[in-house]
Amino acid sequence: MPLDVVTIDGPAGAGKSATSRALAKRLGFEYLNTGAMYRAIALRALRLRVDLTNASALAAVARAITLESIDGRTIMDGEDVTDAVRAPEISRVVRYPANAPEVRAILVEQQRRIGLSRAIVTEGRDQGTAVFPDARCKFYLDASAEERARRRLGELRARGEEAALDVILSQILERDRLDSERAVGPLCAPEDAVRVDSDGKTIEEVVDEMERVARAKLPHFTGRERPRA
């Protein structure tokens, strides 16, 4: 059983990536971004002009790829695709691999293998429910849709792009719906997760809260139980 795994699930825009990365650094763990893995499959499928509605073809793509998505860099078959997988055209189509059960099975297996071999903070939608149900330290990081839309608008403005708040808000609500209604690996809070609401809090404040919980719960710090080799 993986003992040194911290899971962080939650909706898009709640601040999972920034907090996961910072928490991993504080704990001396590695950070696994599972959304980037689904994004990498979408990128390869687009490049190969694979029919995105063909789940078996997407699974073949997933099987043929070697992926590393550790500590903020996503490496696909040796190529650094960290920025490429964040492109808007990937965000538009990533639901196809994310909704394909065969693709999920392949990526879940890879994520478990990573969790068995190293101490990680892993973020996604299904990490504490489907992938690491036995993890000792689980978080569900949430924020209101309005707050998430305001943050997204701030990010776009910082890049010199303009957008309307109500349009962003409706996109966020649509992503929440797609994430929650997925038949396999839907977004939902694990029963045993500590819920953290990031509304009105800085990343620093959220990470402080999480670090306290993680240090109290993880065998790695309490020394109560050592992971098996």
Task: State the minimum distance, in angstroms, from the CB of residue 85 to ligand DC.
Answer: 8
Task: State the minimum distance, in angstroms, from the CB of residue 95 to ligand DC.
Answer: 5
Q: How far apart are CA 61 and CA 42, in angstroms?
A: 9
Residue 52 has φ and ψ, to the nearest 5°, of -70, -20
CB distance 88 to 43 below 8 Å? no
Q: Residue from 3, 7, 27, 39 that binds ligand DC (CB under 6 A)? A: 39
| 74 is a site residue for ligand DC (CB under 6 A) | no
Nearest-5° Cα angle at 143, 18 to 98 = 70
| 69 is a site residue for ligand DC (CB under 6 A) | no
CB distance 106 to 59 below 8 Å? yes
Q: How far is CA 146 from the centre of its chain?
A: 21
Q: How far is CA 189 from the centre of its chain?
A: 14
Burial class (CB in 10 A: 0-12, 13-18, 19+), 190: buried
| 11 is a site residue for ligand DC (CB under 6 A) | no
String of contacts with ligand DC for each residue 163-202, x by CB under 6 A: ----------------x-----x-----------------
At 153, list the tokens. 């608008």
Q: Residue from 22, 58, 94, 214 that binds ligand DC (CB under 6 A)? A: 94
Stretches 32-40, 136-144, 160-168, 208-216: which one binds ligand DC (CB under 6 A)?
32-40
- Closest to ligand DC by CB, 27 or 111: 111
Positions touching ligand DC (CB under 6 A) are 12, 34-36, 38-39, 94-95, 98, 124-126, 179, 185
